[in-house]
Structure 1
Amino acid sequence: MPPAPYSPPASPWWTPAVHADRRPILLARNRVEAAMRGYFAEQDFLLVDPPALQRSPGNETHLHAFNATMIGNDGLGQVMYLHTSPEFTMKKLLAAGERRIASLGHVWRNRERGPLHHPEFTMVEWYRVEQAYESVMDDCVALLRLAASITGASTLRFRDRECDPFAEPERLAVAEAFDRFAGIDLLATISADGSTDSQTLVAQMRATGLTIPQDTSWSYLFSRVLVEKVEPNLGLGCITILDEYPAAEAALARKSTRDGRVAERFEVYACGVELANGFGELTDAGEQRRRFAAEMNEKQRLYGERYPLDEDFLAALAIMPAASGIAMGFDRVVMLATGAPKIDQVIWAPVAGDDR
């Protein structure tokens, strides 16, 4: 059945009656935020406050930024961007000598609006120096359980899907998930050096009855299968940690020492909803530059634009110690812990616009 046509709420969020209905969830949000800050304090993290205004908003193909003009004392303007993540600044702090840092603040992403997306949202991001990436997996699970405990929820919920955050999480390789849910041998489409073969993936998709989109680049095909066939099956009953992303889909993660076709990148799912994205962090500045250039070339091909590289970040990366890091969508966690069906309902003052 097609979704019902969108109709805006009868009254805006700031009317007293609407606010009164939303207020219990917003108060729950505040309690979850306070509990997370307490968790980081107990784990000896320093909470840092990265600036939102950056020379580069990030260099991944499908991330879209808001830009602004910064005018100096000379009256001349310089193009700047609101960050899509505090990652670059936080890694500079690791290069400076910090070893365990976290931030909880707003980030901005353009071209994103819907039940699970908001153009301005709250991200929790944290890093551990010289610790395996499993350490931030464990943090993430602990924080999801904490959010459920604080709100008194025995399960996390998104619409008709439920997840028990207190059950043992499932750790699932991306290749295994593609085989299980889509009948595709993903690793057969990736060479030993991490390069990809879109035609082999197209042939497998056809053989399993999947439709082939107009854009047959490997990355786009991968994303289509992931979104349509894999993600809806993740985090049902228990938390799923989707691990070992293909190296081609992990621009900021180091490659696995076990298999060069995959990387130390994982995502955390509950109720079919992606909540967090974590890495064993890449610290090879030359390799990072090459990956960013490839991402920006693909962005230029698809969207006709590219973002500058953060040269300070690349310079800092050369002296950054080995680390693991993760970013979590705080608003989505609150949604699942309170059972809210739309992200706007857990945001104190939503950005004006259509939230379909």
Structure 2
Amino acid sequence: MNTPSPWWAPHRHADRRPALMARNRIVAAVRAHFAAAEFVEIDAAALQISPGNEAHLSAFSTEALGSDGARQPLYLHTSPEFACKKLLAAGEPRLFSIARVYRNRERGPLHHPEFTMLEWYRAGAEYMELMQDCADLLALAADTAGIGTLRHRDREADPFATFERLTLAEAFAERAGIDLLATIDRDGSTDRDALAGAVRRADLRVAEDDTWADLFCRVLVARIEPHLGIGRPTILYEYPVSEAALARPSPHDPRVAERFELYACGVELANGFGELTDADEQRRRFTLEMAEKARVYGETYPIDEDFLEALAIMPEASGIALGLDRLVMLATDARHIEDVIWTPVAGGAR
């Protein structure tokens, strides 16, 4: 088997350079877009006490050495979210960050251990406003790249079209014949056996040790995600509260949360929230997430107590994270995320 040339080989760099230059133009256009809307750009520190407390996010750990030799465990952040929310608490009403972030156990055509996250937050805004922000950004990226269609492999989406909008309940009913909300109680607790029965009737595998969350993800990946963002971008919204650890419950149905994801060409691009500001509830959710992490991976991460203290005074807000590398991929028809990263991390088979 032939080993691919390294990214710095002149002939390979020449092939990658057009997409990389398009990346630079898109990043510059994004910065100008947010500046024109009176957002403040912030630069979040990558080293944090906690990398986040979501069960299936894996971090890179390190430690700081004091002059006396004392050791302090630290992590590279998986998102600038905690830092951004602390600045919302400090009084910044609109902010954005173009941050290098780090996630372990993630590498493939759409995943890289170090990648670029675009996050932005609006104090006092409903989370639906972020959906329009997404529409503006997809159109901006397409205009900047000089294209009329987003592409990934054999799939296309019109970045200027009105977005399709589907709730999770609608998607489960249409694509799998499953009444998702019938398996969720009013207090947000879930009925694993009810969902397992529905999943079996949908001709999908159910293992004895599958949790409700495992079954939810299996249906989402097998029956729903492949159909999202085809022809035009899709907003998938109103996630179950158990699948939205950082989002506030919906005011019209406590079984679901103010969370949405954006898809184009079958690729997940962004994850947005009406932000949870109840510090006690956030602590409870983090504790549950870390219990699940311990069960699956045998490890946990500390809770950032400063974050919870800041959350108690943070104003109502909405925020979102968008994978900037993935957006550039769709705007340049790149097949692999490393084709749009200037200096990919060594290792990993292509």
Give the TM-score of the pair, scaled to structure 2. 0.98
**Which residue in the other structure is 1:3 paired with?**
none
Instruction: Verify: 1:247 aligned to 2:241, yes or no.
Output: yes
Cα deviations by residue, 1:244-298 (Å, 9 ceiling, x for unpaired): 0000000000000000000000000001100000000000000000000000001
Shift of 1:51: 0.1
Query: Which deviates more, 173-182 or 92-101?
Result: 173-182
> Which amino acid counterpart does residue 100 of structure 1 have in structure 2?
R
Q: CA deviation at 1:215?
A: 3.5
Distance 2:172 2:327 in 1: 25
Mapped partners of 1:57, 1:8: distance in 2: 34
**Residues 67-76 or 35-44, more deviating:** 67-76
Q: Note the C-alpha offset of 1:75.
A: 1.0
Secondary structure (helix, strand or coil) at the match of 2:281 reads helix
* CA–CA separation in structure 2 for the residues paired with 1:273 and 1:355: 21
Q: Residue in 1 aligned with 2:177? A: 183
- Number of aligned residues: 350
1:48, distance to aligned residue in structure 2 (A) = 0.2
1:8 deviation in Å? 3.8
Contact 1:113 1:355 in 2 (8 A): no
Matched, 1:143 2:137: yes
1:38 is displaced (CA, Å) by 0.5
Who is 1:281 aligned against? 275
Alignment partners' CA distance in 2, 1:82 and 1:221: 30
1:164–1:238 Cα contact (<8 Å) kept: yes
Partner of 1:160: 154
SS at match of 1:279: strand
1:174 to 146, 168, 172: 168
CA contact (8 A) 1:194 1:246 kept: yes
Asked if the contact 1:115–1:355 (Cα under 8 Å) also holds between the matched residues in 2, the reply is no
Aligned with residue 329 of structure 1, among 323, 335, 340: 323
Q: Report the Cα distance in structure 1 between the residues aligned to 2:161 and 2:305, rounded to whole angstroms.
A: 44
Q: What residue identity is the alignment partner of 1:227?
A: V
Is 1:79 the equivalent of 2:73? yes
- Mapped to 2, the partners of 1:313 and 1:65 lie a distance apart of 18
Instruction: State the TM-score, normalizing by the size of structure 1.
Output: 0.97
Gaps of 5+ in 2: none
> In structure 1, which of residues 182, 203, 212 is the aligned counterpart of residue 206 of structure 2?
212
- How much has 1:118 moved relative to structure 2? 0.3
What percentage of residue pairs aligned between the two structures are identical? 64
What amino acid sits opposite 1:243 in the alignment? Answer: Y
Alignment deviations for residues 44-71 of structure 1 (CA, whole Å, 9 cap, x no partner): 0000000000000000000000000111
Distance 2:21 2:182 in 1: 49
Aligned to 2:48: 54
User: Following superposition of structure 1 onto structure 2, how do residues 232-271 of structure 1 map, counting pairs within 5 Å?
Assistant: 232-271=226-265
SS at match of 2:315: coil
Distance 1:73 1:26, change over 3 A: same
Which amino acid in 2 is paired with 1:284?
D
Does residue 300 of structure 2 align to residue 311 of structure 1? no
Change (3 A) 1:188 1:355: farther
Say whether 1:347 aligns with 2:350: no
Render the CA deviation track for 1:108-137: whole Å, top value 9, x for unaligned: 000000000000000000000001001111
The residue number in structure 2 matching 1:32 is 26
Match of 1:15 in 2: 9
CA separation in 2, counterparts of 1:12 and 1:214?
44
Name which of structure 1's ranges 206-215 and 68-77 shifts more when overlaid on structure 2. Answer: 206-215
Asked if 1:293 is matched to 2:293, the reply is no
Cα displacement (A) at 1:7? 5.8
How far 1:355 sits from its partner (Å)? 4.2
Question: What is the Cα deviation at residue 76 of structure 1?
Answer: 1.2
Classify the secondary structure of the residue corresponding to 1:238: coil
RMSD of the TM alignment (CA)? 1.0
The residue type equivalent to 2:322 in the other structure is: M
- Match of residue 128, structure 1, among 102, 108, 122: 122
Q: Residue 214 of structure 1: CA displacement?
A: 5.0
Alignment partners' CA distance in 1, 2:49 and 2:310? 15
Q: Runs of 4+ in structure 1 displaced over 3 angstroms?
A: none
Secondary structure of 2:249's partner? coil
Deviation at 1:184, TM superposition (A): 1.1
Instruction: Give the partner amino acid of 1:263.
Output: A
- For the pair 1:92 / 2:86, whether they are aligned, the reply is yes
| Structure 1 SS opposite 2:236 | strand
Q: Aligned partner of 1:158: which letter?
A: H
Going from structure 1 to structure 2, the CA distance change for 1:142 and 1:355 (only over 3 Å counts) comes to farther
Partner of 2:220: 226
Deviations 1:65-123 (A, max 9, x none): 00001111211111100000000011000000000000002000000000000000000
